[in-house]
Amino acid sequence: MSETNFVDYIKLFCASGNGGAGSVHLLRAKYVPKGGPDGGDGGRGGHIILKVNPQYWTLIHLKYRKNVRAEHGESGRGNLAHGADGRDVILEVPPGTVVKNAEDEEIITELTQPGEEFILCKGGRGGLGNNHFKTATRQTPRYAQPGENGQEGWFILELKLLADVGLVGFPNAGKSTLLSTVSAARPKIADYPFTTLQPQLGIVSLPDDRSFVMADIPGIIEGAHQGRGLGLRFLRHIERNSMLLFMVPADSPDVTAEYRVLLRELEKFKPQLLDKQRMLAVTKADLLDQAGERSLRRHLPRSLPVLLISSITGKNISQLKEQIWNKLWNQ
């Protein structure tokens, strides 16, 4: 995914079709002087349907589709002819799409499974023709039901990436470099903060046909839970990750303190994030000599697995992938 084509938030207006009116019609046929009512029912209005397509990883295809309307149902006709139903509109969305009401941002549904469908706006029912209203005392009713109105409203579609492992760290912690090393993803890499402005996904392959999905989330800074830096916009992508890999560079003044700041930001954003499995990778280990590595190890946190890695030299990269796999599958 390039930085220009990743869209994870859109707002759009949707309106389903109105139902067609029932027909008021009396049978007219030769040698049938009092044929009675034969008005057909109106057709159903078209639905607005969301459908999960696993081939999509972004909402960019809906970015400029701000007004979505389905067809109205057709009116019924004589001879009990049913009006045609309005054509449904199917909007394909990526897995991990959250649907909200734009007025109060209340979550309506979350779509995660391939092929899953949800009727966002239900088309109005077609009205009944006058054939339904004949009785023993009213044999020629001259009225029918109008069609029901469809549903309409403003909605928010918000994407939360589905990944097995989310990379969490300050800008320039080496997240993009690691992702490009262990997968075929090619995120932008440069020696300045916030090089990564959009989430990136990569598939990490292991022997014996094993694999998992890794997500590079744009760098977090202190105060991100309040919207600082890239803030809340990308913190939500961490919610769907099964495991979090915290990344702190070896040249950090205090690796443990930096890890605790990251942990605190996640806790303030959503405390449930701390229930996820965690690992700490100390990156840029190629900058350390043996004495520096021994000194660093004495001050590392003891509450989670820690591995010193280098994406440049490949140090402990294979061990990192195996440890992540084992934690994901509780081996």
pLDDT band at 197 (very low <50, low <70, confident <90, very high): low
What is the Cα–Cα distance from 324 to 203, expressed in whole angstroms? Answer: 13
Per-residue model confidence as pLDDT tens digits over 100-114: 999 998 999 999 999
- Window from 78-87, 123-132, 259-268 with minimum mean pLDDT: 259-268
The superfamily CATH assigns to domain 1-159 is GTP1/OBG domain (2.70.210.12)
CB 94 within 8 A of CB 57: yes
Q: Which two tokens stand for residue 227?
A: 């919207």
Sign of CA dihedral 183, 216, 275, 108: negative
| Better pLDDT: 149 or 54 | 149
Which residues in the chain are classed under CATH 3.40.50.300? Answer: 165-328
Kindly report, as residue ranges, where domains of CATH 2.70.210.12 are found in the chain: 1-159
Beta bridge partners of 308: 282
The pLDDT mean for the chain works out to 85
What CATH number does the domain located at 165-328 have? 3.40.50.300
Q: Is the predicted pLDDT of residue 40 greater than 90, yes or no?
A: yes
pLDDT, tens digit (0-9, with 9 covering 90-100), for 7-27:
888 999 999 999 999 999 998
CB–CB of 85/73 below 8 Å? yes
Residue 189 pLDDT > 50: no
Q: List, in sequence order, every beta strand (DSSP E) within 197-267.
A: 200-206, 210-216, 243-249
DSSP code per residue over 252-301: SS-HHHHHHHHHHHHHHH-GGGGGSEEEEEEE-GGG--HHHHHHHHTTS-
Distance, first Cα to last Cα, the chain: 32
